[in-house]
Amino acid sequence: MKKLRSVLSLILVASMVLALLSSCTAGADNDEDSPIKIAVAFPMTGDQAEYGQSFLLAAQIKVDEWNAKGGVLGRAIELVSYDDKNSSEEAATIAQKIVSTPDIVGVLGHFSSGVSMVAAPIYEENQVIEISNTASHPDYSSIGDYIFRNNAVISNEFEVIESLLTEDLKLSKVGIVAIKTDWGTTAGAIAADMIRNNDALTLVGHEEVVEGSDDYSLVIAKLKEAGAEAVISVGMYALIAPLARQYKAVDPDIQILGLSNSYAQQLIELGGEATEGIIFPVSFYSDPQNPEIKRFVDAYVESFGSEPSALAAQAYDSIGILLEAIKANGNLDRPSLRDTLNNITYPGITGETKFDAIGDATKNYTKLIVKDGNFVPYEN
Amino acid sequence: MMLQQLLNGMALGMAYALIAVGYTLVFGILRLVNFSHGAVYAFGAHMVVFFIGMNFGLLPAVVFGILLSGLLGVLIDKIALNPLRKKKSPNISALITTIGVSYIIQNLLVLGFGSGRKSFPKLIETRSIMIGDAQITNIQLLMLVVSVVLFLSLTVLVKYTKIGLAMRAVEQHETNAALMGIPTSFIISFTFFLGGLTAAIASVLIGSHYEIVYPTMGMMIGLKAFSAAVLGGIGVFYGSIVGGLLIGLTEALAATWFGAEYRDSVAFIVLILVLILRPMGLFGKKGLNKV
């Protein structure tokens, strides 16, 4: 009996080892007919699901365009969608799954900087290219060679806001309201430094709020008391819309400034009249004059029902630049693909995109203002 | 500014109190912390938005939304909690079940309405009332009035009506109440119905104050309201109102003195301190077996 058991267990172990080996070899051969896979890892359920779904759609529009032209390197392109629920734990698991699928060449994701920074070391170690269209934490792209960012580094956006405050609006007393996340704390601190280092500006208050509490009356009363003339909202439209509404109810003259990630149609829907006059920098806006942009916007609106955000446009461009790099490289060899990606200049709908040495794409900004319920370019 | 912050804190506290009443109602009768309350709260607001979208008109939409949330409360009890009671499972299983139910409701709302924030219609035109140099809106005053009315009518209902008598009987001993000819399962459903109603009333008022609805809107505020109920002594109606106000004011003071990032932690520290000194809450009765 005992002998039988040990024989059986030996057979079991052997079969497991065999299964493991065979799965390895099955994955390793990149046969010419199978599609080239790109992972898309975003929150698809939960609080931030709308973002993930919109990025997946934007990415899919780009992939469809390429597939219609015959794919890349003669192979079809396929997106594999993962749901990280905007949680670091999930993202770590998903990153492991992605790196153990050998035919995935790159990842578009993850959504928040904090989550991206948990997953990034896993991609770096396994030579999988990660492009985030959303992370704006200063430290994200320096995590590794394979980690790229097709979004503004937050400090660049604040430079635009700084010139807006001092040159265009000529306001000096500035308050900051930031969401209490890793990103919000870092970005808020950068904004505070910017204001402190500029003699023309005075920092009258720097408050952190928990997103999802929806009540900002307490910080508003403090900032108003301190005499704030302008308030920088460091958060998504979910922060800036109610903040504007509650602030304008107390002080109708306040100038509210946002960041590029507040550019979404929902901002106006949610904030209503209170959003009038909000100004923020963007790398993309759906300019109907530009045929490239119009083509993307039309395809997007048809599926999604509302206009794409700047972040969705960056998702579209991120897939574009990755596919362009694969085409230019001519093969899927990871290190050379990485170098190619780092060297090409891609004319996207969010402007000319080129990654610098640490993997950041420099963005050019236009300033938008909310006027009569629409986003229009801001001119002084 | 201090006066303004106190008013802000009071308004916030009224919101907590409105929700806390629902926790306290179900706990007072069934000795069950109903963690699905926050999800029913979100459900109510979404239903009102849905009915308004179907062109029901504001008032009918609000009434339907509130009634439907009451029915959802009954449904939760019938589907998820009644089977547990039949099997005489411990209270902790029912508590965990309500947490599960809240996730199911939230995710169904995400499926039906999307996860984004949507705007909620104003019930009444917002007007500011100045008190000195501080201001408060008429909706915030309405919240205050409604939570007091809710507290009064629930107290009257539980203390002075026949169905209230039956509810108290079920609270004291379910089996004996049944032996006395009280339809216990109806009474329990009725309690959940009332709980659902109060959740929806709260969400309509709070939703129209912030003009925002989204599926997870009940999470944080539900937790605070639960703390308010515990602070005031869960099971005691006026306790929820005092508890809600205390937590709201603590948050306002914490935000003023230490910064807004500390408001939650300070509110919970106060809760813990009160519970150390008075484990049954400020107005709670002794001898309750809390879960």
Q: What does the pLDDT look like over A62-104, one tens digit per residue?
A: 999 999 999 999 999 999 999 998 999 999 999 999 999 988 9
Q: Which residue ranges in chain A fall short of pLDDT 50?
A: 23-29
Q: Is the pLDDT of residue B287 over 60?
A: no
Answer with the residue of higher pLDDT: B90 or A128.
A128
What backbone phi and psi angles, to 5 degrees, belong to A30?
-85, 85
Among candidates A213, A221, A242 on the partner chain, residue whose Cβ is nearest the Cβ of B8: A221
Do the Cβ atoms of B27 and B235 come closer than 8 Å? yes
Expressed as residue numbers, the domain containing A22 is 1-27
Residue of B nearest to A47 (CA): B115
The predicted-structure confidence for B99-124, as pLDDT tens digits, reads as follows: 999 999 998 998 898 888 888 888 88
Higher pLDDT, B265 or B287: B265
Q: Does A225 touch chain B (CB under 8 A)?
A: yes
Q: A148-174 in b/e burial notation, b at 16+ Cβ within 10 A?
A: bbbbbbbebbbebbbebbeeebebbbb
Residue B211 is nearest to which of A48, A225, A245, comparing CB atoms? A245
**Cα(A282)–Cα(A157) distance, rounded to whole angstroms?**
8
**Does residue A176 share a domain with residue A249?**
yes
For chain B, the domains span 2-114+129-277
A361 found inside a domain = no
The DSSP code sequence of B196-244 is HHHHHHHHHHHHHHHTEE-TTTHHHHHHHHHHHHHHH-TT-HHHHHHHH
pLDDT tens by residue, B155-174: 999 999 999 999 989 888 88
Min Cα–Cα distance to chain B from A51, Å: 9
Given this model, what pLDDT does residue A11 score? 67
Q: Per-residue confidence at B143, pLDDT binned at 50, 70, 90?
A: confident
pLDDT, average across residues B135-152: 86
Indicate if A54 and A144 belong to the same structural domain: yes
CATH code for the domain in which residue A330 is found:
3.40.50.2300
Asked if residue A277 and residue A165 are part of one domain, the reply reads yes
**Residue in A55, A177, A214 to test binding to B, most B beta-carbons within 10 Å:** A214
- Measured from the Cβ of residue A347, the count of other Cβ atoms closer than 10 Å reads 12
Third-level CATH fold of B2-114+129-277: ABC transporter involved in vitamin B12 uptake, BtuC (1.10.3470)
Chain A residues close to B260, C-beta within 8 Å: 207-209, 218-219, 222
Total domains in chain A come to 3
Task: Name chain B contacts of A45, Cβ cutoff 8 Å.
Answer: 107, 110, 115
What pLDDT sits at residue A146? 95
**A362 within some domain:** no
**Residue numbers in A near B212 (CB within 8 A):** 214, 241-242, 270
pLDDT in tens, B270-281: 888 988 988 888
Q: What is the arithmetic mean of pLDDT over B60-75?
A: 95
Q: Does residue A228 share a domain with residue A127?
A: no
Q: Report if residue A269 sits inside a domain.
A: yes
One domain for residues A120 and A167: no
Residue A366 inside a domain? The answer is no
Report how far residue B121's alpha carbon sits from residue A318's, in angstroms, rounded to the nearest whole number: 38
- B166: amino acid identity, one letter: A
The secondary structure element, H or E, covering residue A82 is strand A77-83
Q: Which of A250, A265, A282 is the last residue of a domain?
A: A282
As a whole number of angstroms, the distance between CA A178 and CA A192 comes to 11
In a domain, A248, yes or no: yes
Q: How far is CA B25 from CA A293, B62, B146, B199, in A?
A: 56, 22, 16, 11
Percentage above 70 pLDDT, chain B: 98
Interface test with B, best of A44, A45, A203, A218 (most B CBs within 10 A): A218
Which residue, of A282, A308, A343, is where some domain finishes?
A: A282
Tell me which of A235, A254, A282 is where a domain ends: A282
pLDDT at A16: 61
CB < 8 Å to A210, chain B: 220, 261, 264
In this structure, are A95 and A164 located in the same domain?
no
Instruction: Give residue B3's pLDDT band: very low, low, confident or very high (50, 70, 90).
Output: confident
pLDDT at A301: 93
**When comparing pLDDT for B264 and B70, which is higher?**
B70
Partners of residue A50 in chain B, C-beta under 8 Å: 114-116
A chain contacts of residue B210, beta-carbon cutoff 8 Å: 214-215, 242, 246
Cβ-Cβ contacts under 8 Å, A219 against chain B: 255, 260
Whole-model pTM: value is 0.81
Nearest CA in chain A to B252: A218
Which of B107, B212, B256 is the closest to A45 by Cβ? B107
Using CB atoms within 10 Å of the CB of residue A258, give its burial: 0 to 12 exposed, 13 to 18 middle, 19+ buried: buried
Tell me the pLDDT tens digit for each residue of B186-208.
999 999 999 999 999 999 999 88
Amino acid A288: pLDDT: 79
Q: What is the pLDDT of residues A152-178, one digit of tens each?
A: 888 888 999 999 999 999 999 999 999
Q: CA–CA separation, A206 vs A161, rounded Å?
A: 16
Same domain? A272 vs A194:
yes
d(CA B191, CA A189): 49
C-alpha to C-alpha distances, A15 to A1, A3, B113, B170, nearest whole angstrom: 21, 18, 48, 61
The distance of A104 to chain B (nearest Cα, Å) reads: 29
Return the pLDDT at A50: 83
A208 contacts chain B (CB < 8 A)? yes
Cα distance between residue B35 and residue A59, in whole Å: 39
Higher pLDDT, B132 or A101: A101
Query: A76 with A127, same domain?
Result: yes
Whether A60 maps to a domain, the answer reads yes
Nearest partner of A288 among A379, A378, A376, A380, judged by Cα: A376
- Asked if residue A148 and residue A162 are part of one domain, the reply reads no
Q: A-B interface: how many C-beta pairs under 8 angstroms?
A: 96
Q: Distance between CA B173 and CA B165 in Å, rounded?
A: 12
**How far apart, in whole angstroms, are the C-alpha atoms of residue B114 and residue A272?**
20
- Cα–Cα distance list, B27 to B37, B171, B205 (Å): 11, 9, 23
Q: What is the least distance, in Å, from the CA of A224 to any CA of chain B? A: 9
- A146 and A191 share one domain: no
- B126/A249 CB distance under 8 A: yes
CA atoms within 13 A on the CB side of A87: 9
* pLDDT (0 to 100) of residue A24: 46
Mean pLDDT on B43-59: 92
Question: What's residue A2's pLDDT?
Answer: 59
Does residue A238 share a domain with residue A191? yes
